[in-house]
Amino acid sequence: MKTILITGATSGIGQACAETFAKHKYQLIITGRRKDRLNALTEKLKKEYHAEVLPLCFDVRNFKETESALSNLPEAFSQIDVLINNAGLASGFGSIQNGQISDWEKMIDTNIKGLLYVTKVVCQGMIERKSGHIINIASIAGKEVYANGNVYCATKHAVDALSRSMRIDMLPAGIKVTNVAPGMVETEFSLVRFGGDAERAKNVYQGLQPLSAQDISTVIDMVVHLPHNLVVNDITLTPLAQASANHAIRS
Ligand code: NDP
Ligand code: 8X3
């Protein structure tokens, strides 16, 4: 039985990935900061799919917490085959000149440093075993920039660069690295970005059909199950109504 670690599984893309891989008989390590949601998801995955699930509640921004949670795994969960670096967020939407330092720090610490912390701990075992697959959830905002996206876009450009760089560093160990760059996906992403303003979050997807979190997990599932010698290095996913970070058609 293969083991997958999904960061940020309490909502959206991470939660959809947890359900998809539970369905496909993976053992799951799911993480996030909201313990109640982690526990509820664990119960659901056990009940609906008879999955083996290890919920780990920690903040990826804290290296000590991350290291302590991930380097003391129970034996049965200790060999991680697939890591989905998904935990991330946008905080705020405004010009650089009006930006909040606390928003910038939250995004940089989560999207870049958190991804690095988790990867550093998890890749050691993969390198020893010369086997593994790391999926980094970047964004179309890591390929292009848009007005008021500044620091979020910069963090996702960093994820894109890290995916390319990791692929080179881990080449001798035969570890696959896939960069996934979604466009508009309806999750709690916009609600978080706009500080809980549900009306504003809804407007982001007004007049078009965004992707669902399940759309992303379907593609990740496909990418993980390709023949051993075939690697998807980078994949950009948008709804039909979106051509780029700056071009979408709305009714
Ligand atoms: P959600 O807000 O629905 O989910 C984000 C997840 O990240 C939650 O489970 C949250 O868990 C977790 N998370 C956030 N901060 C931390 C932290 N400090 N420590 C641990 N976990 C954390 O959004 P999405 O599912 O949309 O986002 C998932 C990823 O996809 C992000 O990296 C995002 O940037 C990326 N993405 C999203 C797109 C979209 O349009 N939705 C498009 C392109 C990329 P908790 O709060 O419990 O800690
Ligand atoms: C989330 C997608 O276009 O809002 O990464 O940046 S976008």
188 lines ligand 1 (CB under 6 A): yes
How far is residue 68's CA from residue 45's CA, in Å, rounded to a whole number?
Answer: 25
H helix runs in 88-229, sequence order: 101-107, 115-129, 150-169, 189-193, 198-203, 213-224
- From 7, 2, 5, 1, select the one nearest 159 (Cα to Cα): 7
In whole numbers, what is the pLDDT of the chain averaged over residues? 98
CB half-sphere exposure, 80, CA atoms < 13 A? 31
- From 82, 36, 91, 40, select the one nearest 61 (Cα to Cα): 91
Compute CA distances 77 → 28, 130, 152, whole Å.
8, 17, 33
For the chain, the farthest-separated pair of C-alpha atoms sits apart, in whole angstroms, at 53
For ligand 1, the distance from its centroid to the CA atom of residue 15, given in whole angstroms, is 10
Q: Which residues are catalytic?
A: 152
Q: What is the pLDDT of residue 170?
A: 98
Q: What is the pLDDT of residue 246?
A: 97
Q: Which atom of ligand 1 is nearest to the CA of 90?
A: 34
Q: What is the pLDDT of residue 157?
A: 99
Q: What is the pLDDT of residue 161?
A: 99
Task: Convert the pLDDT of each residue in 26-40 to its tens digit.
Answer: 999 999 999 999 999
Residue type, 98: N
Given pLDDT bands bounded at 50, 70 and 90, which one contains residue 102?
very high
Mean predicted confidence (pLDDT) in 107-123: 99
CB-count exposure of residue 79 (10 Å: 0-12, 13-18, 19+): middle
How far is residue 32's CA from residue 27's CA, in Å, rounded to a whole number?
Answer: 17
82 lines ligand 1 (CB under 6 A): no
Q: What is the pLDDT of residue 163?
A: 99
112 lines ligand 1 (CB under 6 A): no
Compute CA distances 212 → 146, 185, 200, whole Å.
22, 5, 18
Task: Convert the pLDDT of each residue in 120-159 to its tens digit.
Answer: 999 999 999 999 999 999 999 999 999 999 999 999 999 9
Residue type, 206: Q
Given pLDDT bands bounded at 50, 70 and 90, which one contains residue 209?
very high
For ligand 1, the distance from its centroid to the CA atom of residue 248, given in whole angstroms, is 22
Q: Which two tokens stand for residue 22?
A: 């539970």
Given pLDDT bands bounded at 50, 70 and 90, which one contains residue 215?
very high
Q: What is the pTM of this model?
A: 0.99
H helix runs in 50-149, sequence order: 63-70, 101-107, 115-129
| For ligand 1, mutation pick of 11, 19, 57, 108 (most atoms within 8 Å of CB) | 11
